[in-house]
């Protein structure tokens, strides 16, 4: 049985690797070699990566692909995407090419408000607390003046502070519900610093307020933290064209194709089991761009899925309609993104990805990311309502299967050519591979 270790974080990287190999693997030279093989040969660059997180032992690579031909608001983009799943970049690229000749993607920002909260417990008269809040509110803002100074110079800052009574949900529970404008920064550190300043000011001012009894002064600050649910930081992206411009797909007329797309979206609207997978496909496109640009894809995921359930049932993030002979397909999604701060200014590939995107502002990046999600969803639905999802996906997954089987480069070329004309399933690939080997 492996025993706990004290001071792991103080070990050198070499010693961390040796300890992991000795205690949690078969401790062969292969274990150490695998971890070291992903170190960067540039020591300075490797040191930079080592300092991104704690207890670093190596780098974990993901492919960085490019999806070209995205026409967004009449401007052409090539979108970097970091993802391990095959067919995502291909589907996005195919959708981009399809809509590039049909007017492209149109986007708009519906809001950029971000949220943070100070959660606290107060056992006393609510009217007294409300009166106290109106007195102390200017002091709360003044208490974080040094923090917000530079943000305010750029046009951002605190946009509101509200006292919210949540006692109907949880006994004695209140909160300061605060909203912020953080411009091109994602703003997590800025918001959390403000919230902690508010909570300290609140505790200090409570003690100096004569309107409370001693018991009412015993306010407990539970926590001060930003929220990743941002229903007022939303972007809209859409495509549209005459139904006749959709063209026939695999024997399906343009009119029937449009109807099938609308029905597919409507099913995701009313059936949560389908909606989760539907939205997962959207996030395939969104997360890949968020990751490539150094943003927090976990926060984006959490906020998007909460938004999908905001009306009481989990539902589709995309919408589709046919009106007066015009097919429309659109998405509205919350996205809190940044183009300054965090990894955006220090990770070489992140900086390059942003340069490829023509150095967008945070608002522009919101629009690009939303388009990537919409394109991915269009591509997935088009496959689902025509050929089925497996035909295209398995052909893209073909090389992964062949690599698992240990195929040579010559075998890969032969089998890729073979499956251009045959259905690619895992079992079919294994059979074809074995037949090819046996012939030799």
Render each residue's pLDDT in the chain as its tens digit; 440 residues. Answer: 578 999 999 999 999 999 999 999 988 889 999 999 999 999 999 999 999 999 999 999 999 999 999 999 999 999 999 999 989 999 999 999 999 999 999 999 999 999 999 999 999 999 999 999 999 999 999 999 999 999 999 999 999 999 999 999 999 999 999 999 999 999 999 999 999 999 999 999 999 999 999 999 999 999 999 999 999 999 999 999 999 999 877 789 999 999 999 999 999 999 999 999 999 999 999 999 999 999 999 999 999 999 999 999 999 999 999 999 999 999 999 999 999 988 888 999 999 999 999 999 999 999 999 999 999 999 999 999 987 655 555 556 677 788 888 888 888 888 877 877 777 777 888 888 888 788 86
Residue 9 phi/psi, 5-degree rounding, is -65, -20
**Residues with catalytic function:** 85, 280, 296, 393
For 70-110+234-387, CATH gives 3.90.770.10
Collapsed DSSP state (helix, strand, coil) of residue 384: helix
Write b or e for each residue in 388-416: b if 16 or more Cβ atoms lie within 10 A of its Cβ, otherwise e: ebeebbbbbbbeebbeeeebeeebbeebe
Residues 6+ apart with CB under 8 A from 377: 278, 281, 282, 285, 317, 318, 331
Third-level CATH fold of 114-227: Alpha-Beta Plaits (3.30.70)
Collapsed DSSP state (helix, strand, coil) of residue 56: coil
Residues 6+ apart with CB under 8 A from 389: 380, 383
Residues 6+ apart with CB under 8 A from 366: 109, 235, 335, 337
Strands 106-109 and 326-334: unpaired
**Strand (E) or helix (H) holding 111:** none
pTM of the predicted model over 0.75:
yes
Collapsed DSSP state (helix, strand, coil) of residue 410: helix
Q: What is the dihedral of CA 18, 23, 27, 31, to 10 degrees?
A: -60
Domain spans in the chain, listed from the N-terminal domain onward: 8-50, 70-110+234-387, 114-227, 393-439
What percent helix, strand, coil does the chain show, rounded to 5?
A: 50, 20, 30
**Domains 70-110+234-387 and 114-227 in one fold:** no
């Amino acid at each position: 049985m492996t025993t706990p270790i004290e001071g792991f974080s103080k070990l050198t990287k070499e010693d961390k690797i040796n300890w992991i190999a000795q205690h949690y693997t078969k401790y062969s030279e292969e274990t150490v070699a695998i971890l070291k093989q992903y170190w960067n040969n540039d020591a300075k660059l490797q040191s930079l990566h080592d300092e991104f997180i704690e207890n670093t032992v190596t780098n974990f690579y993901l492919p960085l692909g490019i999806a070209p031909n995205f026409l967004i608001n009449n401007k052409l983009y090539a979108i970097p995407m970091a993802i391990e799943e095959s067919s995502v970049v291909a589907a996005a690229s195919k959708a981009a090419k399809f809509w590039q000749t049909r007017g492209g993607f149109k986007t708009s920002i519906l809001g950029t408000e971000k949220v943070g909260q100070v959660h606290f417990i107060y056992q006393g008269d609510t009217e007294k607390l409300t009166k106290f809040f109106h007195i102390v509110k200017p002091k709360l803002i003044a208490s974080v003046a040094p923090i917000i100074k530079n943000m305010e110079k750029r046009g951002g800052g605190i946009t509101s502070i509200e006292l919210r009574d949540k006692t109907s949900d949880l006994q004695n529970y209140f909160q300061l519900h605060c909203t912020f404008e953080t411009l091109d920064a994602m703003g997590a550190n800025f918001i959390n610093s403000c919230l902690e300043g508010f909570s300290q000011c609140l505790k200090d001012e409570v003690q100096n307020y004569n309107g409370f009894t001693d018991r009412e002064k015993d306010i407990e600050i539970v926590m001060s933290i930003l929220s990743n649910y941002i229903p007022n930081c939303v972007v809209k992206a859409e495509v549209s064209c005459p139904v006749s411009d959709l063209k026939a797909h695999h024997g399906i007329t343009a009119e029937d194709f449009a109807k099938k797309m609308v029905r597919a979206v409507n099913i995701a609207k009313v059936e949560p089991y389908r909606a989760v997978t539907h939205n997962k496909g959207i996030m395939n496109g969104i997360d890949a761009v968020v990751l490539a640009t150094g943003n927090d894809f976990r926060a984006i995921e959490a906020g998007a899925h909460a938004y999908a359930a905001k009306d009481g049932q989990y539902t589709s993030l995309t919408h589709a309609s046919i009106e007066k002979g015009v097919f429309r397909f659109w998405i509205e999604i919350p996205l809190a993104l940044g183009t300054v701060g965090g990894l955006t200014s220090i990770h070489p590939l992140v900086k390059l990805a942003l340069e490829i995107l023509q150095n967008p502002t945070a608002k522009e990046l919101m629009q690009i990311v939303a388009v990537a999600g919409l394109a991915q969803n269009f591509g997935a639905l088009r496959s689902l309502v025509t050929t089925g999802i497996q035909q295209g996906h398995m052909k893209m997954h073909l090389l992964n299967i062949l690599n698992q089987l240990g195929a040579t480069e010559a075998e890969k070329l032969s089998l890729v050519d073979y499956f251009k004309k045959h259905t690619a399933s895992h079992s079919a690939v294994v059979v074809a591979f074995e037949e090819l080997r046996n012939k030799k």
